[in-house]
Structure 1
Amino acid sequence: MGERKIDVLVVRWYERAGRDDIAARWLDAAREHLPEAMPRRFGDTEPLRGRLDRDGEEGFLRAYDSADSLLFISGKGPVHHASLSATRPGYFGPTVAHSLHAELPATDPRVHRFARALLHPSTIYVSASIEGGEILDGDTLYGPPERPGEPFLAPVGDWLGLPPRPPIWCWFGPAYQRLVRRQVTGEKVADGLFWSGGPWVREPLHARLSEPDPNHRAALRTPRGLRRSTLQIIMAGLHR
C-alpha cells in the first residue's frame, strides 16, 4: 500500500508526573473501548521492536518501565500512532503528556469513551484537534502536518497554559475547575468539565506561545505545581 495524505485526530492527555500506571491504564481502556489502540508494535526508538503477539502485555509493561522519555505505539488502523510519556521526575518538569493519533472523526463515540477511561484525579487537561495533511506510508505516520492542530502545551514538562484557540473538544481536570467554571459551560464528567463548544476561556488562561522568550510563554494564570521556576530549571540543567 503506497503513501497517502490524511487528516489525523490527535487526542492528548496532560497529567501531573509521578504516576507510572499509564501503560496498564492504556491496555484496559483500549481493550474495552478502542481495540485498535492496543499496542501491536511498541518501543522507545524506531524501528519499534516490541510486539504484542510475541511479548504479550507483560512485555509492553516492561518496555514502558524501561523507556527513557517516551514509549511509542503502533496500533491497528485507524489508530496509526500513540505515545506514552515515561518521563520520571528529575531533569524534566512536573507535567507529562500522552497522545493518540487516529484516522477517526473527533465525534467518534469510541474515542470519547477511550479518552474518558484514561482520566484520573491527576489529569490536568485533555483535548482533541485535527492535524491535516500528514503522510501515511503503509502503517507508519509521518509529520509534520501541513495544517497543524493544537500546539504542544508542556515543553520539557513545564505547563504553559490553555491554547489561545479552542480545540474541537476538551476536558478540564479538577485543577482547572475553579479557574474556568465561570468562563465556559459543559458537562460534568469524572470530577472535571467536558467542553465541546461555546465561549472559550479568557486571555489570562492562554499560553503566550508567540512570546520570543521561553520564560515568558506561560499563561498569566495556571494551576499551581505544573511548571518549574527559572531557578529549578537552571539547577536541573546543572545536575543533568
Structure 2
Amino acid sequence: MSYDLTVYCPGSPTVDEVRLLVGNTRGLHVDPDSARDTGVVVLRGMKRGYSFTVDGPFSVEPVDLPEEVVAVLPAAATMFQVLVEGTQEAEIPYGVRFARKLAKACHGVVMDEQTTDIWPQPRTVKAPPRTEPKPERRDVWISWLILEEDLPADFLQGYLRIAREVLPESVPVRFGKYEPLQFRFDSSGEEGFIDEFYNDDSNGWDIYYKNPPPVTYGKIEAPQLSAGNPFTRITLVVDGHALADSPLRSALRRFFLAVATELGAVYASAEVERHQDMGRVPIFNMRPPQWVGFQPYPLWWVWAGPRLAPDIGRFLGPSAKEHNGGLFRAFSDEPLDRDALTDVLGPENLPWIPAEYSATYTDHQMAPLAVASVIPEILRNREPLDLPPGIYNPPRKA
C-alpha cells in the first residue's frame, strides 16, 4: 500500500523544477538512477534510503477536479502525485512536507487522498450545500465482444468512422491510458488515438476516453492471446436520462447495430446500471480472463452475431429481429433496469436464457462461484499463444 497526496497547481511546473525543489530541500536527494520525464524518486538522509516518489506533471481538465479542489482552486491545470510507497510509514511526514512545499512553490493546494483534506485550508467560508437534490445517475452500459479472428485489421478506424457518421456524440473528446487523460481528439486526431491504443511495449493494448453527456465514457481493450482470451471488448457508457429523447435513442440503436455488424461482434449487450452487481459481466478475470456465462438477468438489448445465433437465437424469443445474419432483441423501448424489465416480462418469460448458460452467483457476490455449465463453443477460451514473457499479443500495428 502507499500513502498518496495530490498537488494541484494553476500553472504548468516541469519535472525539472520538481528536481530542483528536491535538491533545495535539506536532507532530500533525487535518485540519479531513476531519472525520467514524468516523475522523481526521492531519497533521504546520509544513507540515501527511499523516501517517496513524485509522479507528474499531468495535465488536468476542470471536469476532473475533485469538488474539494474546485472550491479553493478552480483554475488548477496541472497535478503531481506524491506517493510514499510500500511500508515506509516513517517517511509519510517527509512526503507530506514536500507536497506542501511543492504546492506553495506553484501557488497550489495539496489533497490528502486518504482523508480528502485540503492544505492550505481555505480562508473563505464554504458555500452552503445545494438544497435541490441531484438527479440519480442512470447510466446505460453498452459492450461489444469481438473475436480476434473476426476483428478487421482497421477496426479502430472503422469504429471512429461509424461514430462520426451515426452517433457524433460518441466520437472521443479526451483520451489516454490513465487518469487524468492526457490527449484531446480535436488536436491529436484519429492517428493520435490509434497510436495511443497501440502505445504499449508489451502489446497489452487498451485506451479510455471521456466525453460530456450524453456519451460520457468509452473503453477499448484488446484480447490477451497469451492467456487464451480471444475477445476485443468495446465499452460505451451513455447517460440514460438523455435517452428519454427518442431521436437520440434511435441513433444509439443504429450505432449499436452498426458496430456489432461492421466490426463483427459475436455478442453485444446494453443494460441500465444497477450498482449492486454491475460486476456480473460475461468476461471475468478468473485467471485467465474468460467467458463465464451470460448475464443471469434481463438486459435492455442483446445481440447474437451470426456465429452465436445458432446457439442462443432460440432463447431471444419471437420478438428478436434478424439483422445482417445476427439476431437483435430489444426487451423494452426505453432503457429499463433489470428490476423493471423483470416486472414487464413477467416470471413466465424469465430467465431470458436458461440458467445453465449463466454463471452461479450468491447475493452481493461480484465474482462467480462457478462458470456456466453450458458455454457455446465459439465463446470458449482458446489455447494460449506461446509468446515471450510479458508479451500479451503479437504485433498488430507496425
Measured against the shorter chain, the TM-score band is 0.7 to 0.9
Instruction: Confirm whether residue 204 of structure 1 aligns to residue 356 of structure 2.
Output: yes
- Partners of 1:203 and 1:91 lie apart in 2 by 27
Instruction: Say if 1:26 and 1:118, in contact at 8 Å, map to a contact too.
Output: yes
Please name the residue that 2:281 is paired with.
Answer: 152
Please name the residue that 2:181 is paired with.
Answer: 48
Instruction: Confirm whether residue 223 of structure 1 aligns to residue 371 of structure 2.
Output: no
Give the Å deviation of 1:30. 1.0
Please name the residue that 2:302 is paired with.
Answer: 170
- Partners of 1:166 and 1:237 lie apart in 2 by 39
Counterpart AA for 2:265:
T
Aligned-pair identity (%): 25
Instruction: Confirm whether residue 116 of structure 1 aligns to residue 249 of structure 2.
Output: no
TM-score, with length taken from structure 1: 0.79
Give the Å deviation of 1:45. 1.1
SS of the residue 1:193 aligns to: strand
Query: 5+ residue gaps in structure 1?
Result: 133-145
- Partners of 1:92 and 1:70 lie apart in 2 by 17
- The alpha-carbon distance between structure 1 residues 190 and 161, as it changes in their structure 2 partners (threshold 3 A), is farther
Instruction: Say if 2:362 and 2:369, in contact at 8 Å, map to a contact too.
Output: no
Please name the residue that 1:194 is paired with.
Answer: 328
Instruction: Say if 1:17 and 1:88, in contact at 8 Å, map to a contact too.
Output: no
Counterpart AA for 2:182:
R
Give the Å deviation of 1:7. 1.2
Counterpart AA for 1:113:
R
Instruction: Say if 2:178 and 2:208, in contact at 8 Å, map to a contact too.
Output: yes
- Partners of 1:129 and 1:23 lie apart in 2 by 24
More displaced stretch, 165-174 vs 11-20 = 11-20
Q: Deviations over 1:46-67 (max 9, x none)?
A: 1111211111111111112225
Please name the residue that 1:26 is paired with.
Answer: 159
Query: 5+ residue gaps in structure 2?
Result: 1-62, 68-133, 332-344, 391-398
Instruction: Confirm whether residue 71 of structure 1 aligns to residue 207 of structure 2.
Output: yes
Greater relative contact order (Cα 8 A, min sep 6): structure 1 or 2?
A: 1
**How much is the aligned-residue C-alpha RMSD, in angstroms?**
3.2
TM-score, with length taken from structure 2: 0.50
- The alpha-carbon distance between structure 1 residues 92 and 163, as it changes in their structure 2 partners (threshold 3 A), is same
Q: How many residues align?
A: 223
Q: 1:130 aligns with which of 242, 253, 272?
A: 272
